[in-house]
Amino acid sequence: MSAPTANMRAVLERLAQEDAGLGDPTLMPPQHARALAELTNQRWNAELPEVAEARTVMHAGMPARWVVPANDTGTEAILHVHGGGWALCSPMTHEAASRRIAEACACPVLTVDYRLAPEHPYPAGLDDILRAWKALEPGRRWSIGGDSAGANLSLAAMLRLIDEGAELPACGLLFYGVYGADFDSDSYISNAEGPGLTRAKMMRYWDWYVSEPKRDAPAVAPLAASDAQLAGLPPLYLNAAELDPLLSDTEALVARLRALGRDDAYDLIAGVVHGFMQMGSALPEARDAFTRAGEVFRRIAAP
């Protein structure tokens, strides 16, 4: 396994000091785990990028954040699905991320507060994302994207829309996503103890989200999708973190897309851990990843 970059190592050392004694959120009652996630993510929102507009709205019956960058081109928009193991986080934990996406992609970003597991297991969160998608106002070309479990829900939503014959996003932005439940993959083994996300934590997130017998459905584990479903997806941008139990998920998805003759852009970010894009205020690699996503977005979202 490669070592963290110098920047990543400095952030990990900081987190080890700041989070000493806080415990594992997947071993807490869900409400305590969520409160902890809200509090610890405040550090990444300490220096928010400036935007032209940032306000709380209601969308499809859900609280949401609407962010408009100063460089908005007036043509595109993104439905942003925050990560957090289907169980944690919110539009507020991902405020800085949504602003960086908006700035990099030169378009507004809408982040909805979908229902969370284990109180609301599959398909509640996915149903909320689909409801949010179908309630979007026309006038812009809409894309969809998210990180980790948010990437899972974004891809699952696109697969469901394909099955329904519904209008698809212009493109999908999928950051270090979870696409299957193979806990014996190369990256689950090599990064089993982190740093950061561990194999055991990810297994508990899965247990909160959906029972094992249901994990072979494409809307749960998109790697189970048929070739026809994957071929029907809009253009995608994918990235993955090298020091991440979920790396093999993205590698497997990219391999299947390549086998279908697709050329979706994919970047492996060396020496960083799962969730690194949340750390944009402290990690240059995170800021570079947003910049790269925006470059690809502006190319593949065009009609």
Short-list 239, 293, 236, CA closest to 262: 236
**In the predicted model, is pLDDT for residue 86 greater than 80?**
yes
pLDDT band at 197 (very low <50, low <70, confident <90, very high): very high
Torsion of CA 295, 298, 300, 303, to 10 degrees: -170
pLDDT tens sequence across 216-273: 999 999 999 999 999 999 999 999 999 999 999 999 999 999 999 999 999 999 999 9
Average pLDDT over residues 194-205: 97
**pTM score of the predicted model:** 0.98
Strand partners, 76: 141
pLDDT tens sequence across 28-70: 999 999 999 999 999 999 889 999 999 999 999 999 999 999 9
- Indicate the helix (H) or strand (E) that contains 238: strand 236-243
Alpha carbon distance 130, 144 (integer Å): 11
Tell me what pLDDT residue 1 has.
61
Tell me what pLDDT residue 2 has.
84
Tell me what pLDDT residue 56 has.
98
Q: Average per-residue pLDDT in the chain?
A: 97
Tell me what pLDDT residue 245 has.
98
Q: CA neighbours within 13 Å on the CB side: how many for 71?
A: 12
| 3-class DSSP state of 131 | helix
Average pLDDT over residues 139-153: 98
Average pLDDT over residues 123-132: 98
Q: In 10 A of CB 39, how many CB atoms?
A: 11
**In the predicted model, is pLDDT for residue 303 greater than 90?**
no
**In the predicted model, is pLDDT for residue 85 greater than 70?**
yes
Phi, psi (5° rounding) for residue 77? -160, 160
Tokens of 236: 């995608």
Average pLDDT over residues 135-144: 96
Cis peptide leading into residue 123 (ω within 30°): yes
**In the predicted model, is pLDDT for residue 302 greater than 90?**
no
